[in-house]
């Protein structure tokens, strides 16, 4: 996904720009819509999701959420062109209102400083893990992302102390795998499959496995959201 920048113009330039309108809409080839108004920026990713894919991962076909970096992500059974047509101006020139439900804040920071992580499918867990490992927020992973079963299995090895030691000793290699997963989850180089009614695995394909120490991430779907089971 390509990045985007919002550049603030000087007062004279801003005045000139006013004559042509301050609202600029750019569609990038990577299916990211970038909306710029003045110096504010909103990023939206559109992804097509078939019924077969939705059934395979146990998620609805149509879904909207917001990443930790503020990017709005829309999964839909409609191709992006259809979404654009639906949200474009009507025949009378007026804009069609957005009837979508408000997107979920996946990483919420409360006024007290407490961080709440929410994940409903594997991509969101991978996004959370990437940020948490980058920031060395291992307590946050243990408390909010790790499944109850995984915690129980780790107790005999030292529990959270062993857990933190694993990430500290393998931080570089884990980050490499997470970044690779994020890039390749949607292009066919990561196999995402259900192993039973509540468990899933994401595995790098044969073209990628040889380059990484860790190649598989295991997940569990629980009543409180998608959880991490293990990295191997």
Residue 68 has which token pair?
């930790």
Domain positions in the chain are: 11-105, 108-231
First to last CA, the chain: 26
CA distances from 76 to 5, 41, 118, 132, 154 (A): 26, 23, 20, 28, 38
Cα separation of 44 and 80, whole Å?
11
Residue 36 has which token pair?
């710029």
Task: Report strand pairing: 190-194 vs 115-117.
Answer: unpaired
Q: What's the pTM?
A: 0.59
pLDDT in tens, the chain (232 residues): 444 444 344 544 444 444 444 333 333 343 444 433 344 456 787 776 666 566 656 667 787 877 767 777 787 766 554 445 555 444 454 444 444 555 667 888 888 889 999 998 899 999 999 999 999 999 999 999 999 999 999 999 999 999 999 999 999 999 999 999 988 887 888 998 999 989 999 999 999 999 999 999 999 999 999 999 999 9
CA distances from 25 to 36, 38, 75, 111, 215 (A): 7, 12, 20, 33, 38
Q: Of 161, 181, 159, 179, nearest to 169 (Cα)?
A: 161
Residue 139 has which token pair?
């307590």
Beta strands in 38-175 (DSSP E): 40-48, 63-66, 72-76, 104-105, 107-109, 115-117
Tell me the CATH class for 108-231.
Answer: alpha beta
């Amino acid at each position: 996904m390509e990045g985007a920048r919002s550049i603030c113009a000087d007062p004279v330039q801003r005045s000139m720009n006013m004559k042509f309108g301050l609202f600029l809409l750019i569609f990038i080839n990577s299916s990211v819509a970038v909306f710029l108004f003045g110096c504010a920026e909103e990023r939206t990713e559109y992804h097509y999701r078939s019924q077969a894919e939705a059934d395979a991962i146990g998620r609805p076909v149509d879904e909207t959420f917001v990443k930790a970096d503020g990017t709005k992500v829309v999964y839909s059974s409609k191709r992006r062109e259809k979404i654009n047509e639906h949200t474009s101006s009507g025949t009378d020139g007026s804009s069609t209102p957005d009837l979508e439900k408000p997107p979920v804040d996946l990483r919420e920071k409360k006024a007290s400083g407490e961080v709440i992580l929410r994940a409903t499918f594997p991509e969101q867990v991978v996004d959370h893990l990437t940020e948490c490992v980058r920031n060395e927020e291992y307590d946050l992973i243990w408390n909010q992302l790790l499944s109850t079963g995984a915690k129980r299995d780790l107790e005999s090895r030292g529990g959270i102390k062993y857990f933190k030691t694993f990430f500290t000793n393998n931080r570089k290699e884990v980050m490499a795998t997470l970044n690779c997963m994020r890039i390749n989850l949607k292009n066919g180089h990561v196999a995402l499959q259900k192993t039973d009614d509540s468990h899933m695995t994401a595995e790098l394909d044969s073209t990628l496995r040889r380059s990484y120490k860790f190649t598989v991430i295991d997940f569990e779907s629980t009543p409180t959201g998608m959880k991490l089971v293990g990295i191997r």
